[in-house]
Amino acid sequence: MTYYDILFSFFIYGFLGWCSEVAFAAFKQHSFVNRGFLNGPICPIYGIGVTVVVASLQPYVGNLILLYITSTILVTFLEWLTGFLLEKMFHHRWWDYSEMPLNIGGYVCPLFSAIWGVACVLIVKLIYPFTDKLVSFLPIWLGKFLLVLLSIALIVDICITVQGILKFNKRLALMEDIAKELRNISDQIGENIYDSMMDGLEAQDRLKARADVIREKVDEARQENADELKARMDSLKQRAEELRSKYEKMAKLPTFTSRRILRAFPKMMPREHVREFGQLRRILKKKRDELKKS
């Protein structure tokens, strides 16, 4: 295969893979879901996987068993590598086969590997000859022009998606920082109440044995202590309210990329900020349920 053929193969099978994922999601969820990692109608893992299989396994086309075994091994390795690299780069697990038997790290499992193997055999034997002939009908100049346009669109899409995911991760980190500060404020309020009560008891014990004149000093000390406590409490409550409002605003206004990613990968799980991630997922699910009812 020439570079020209490889690029066309990548875009064709990336698009067909995206179509199959969308069809599967529509059957399962009864609604359209952009199941790709990118915003555009392409799943790079399918484009890369099928292209590698087609380019490297042509010598085994005449042997179905060998073709099936080698393609299954290849696509399993590619799926594992893709899942591993995505998690390392973006700190999220995009799919998870942990509940499937004999899975490897949750990235791959025998059942889906077997399905990918069958799909690859069908592609190599039936679909690839058709798409290869279809590409050959295009004038070279038109094919190159299309590849340039598609490549530019892909690069732009990758940049936008990566930027959106990084912003999403940053938002989760900020939400976790806000939640920690809220917990600290709650602890401070409790400590202030305790300290104030103990100070009042100590002052009362010291002045308990004295006369009525001294009792006025006790009342004054209590009042000063109460005023100081109230000022501290009001300040902490105001800060807590500001943080709570900021947290809720961040949770209710997720970015377009984060909304799409959460819908596209229902089993996606972060390595960090798990609580905040769950909060965003619940809010988006609630919004979808409300839209369905209306």
- Judge contact between 188 and 240, C-beta under 8 A: no
Average pLDDT over residues 88-117: 86
pLDDT exceeding 70 applies to what percent of the chain?
Answer: 65
Give the model's confidence band at 213: pLDDT under 50 very low, under 70 low, under 90 confident, else very high: very low
Average pLDDT over residues 240-267: 66
55-59, 123-127, 150-154: least confident range: 55-59
pTM for the model stands at 0.68
pLDDT at 244: 66
CA 272 to CA 148: how far, in whole Å? Answer: 38
Residue 42 — φ and ψ, nearest 5°? -155, 140
CA 226 to CA 192: how far, in whole Å? Answer: 11
Average pLDDT score over the chain: 77
Residue 7 has pLDDT above 70, yes or no: yes
pLDDT tens digits, 169-198: 777 777 777 777 767 776 666 665 655 555
Q: What are the b/e assignments for 256-269, b being 16+ CB within 10 Å? A: ebbbbbbbbbeebb
pLDDT tens digits, 18-52: 888 888 777 777 776 777 778 888 888 888 888 98
Average pLDDT over residues 224-235: 63
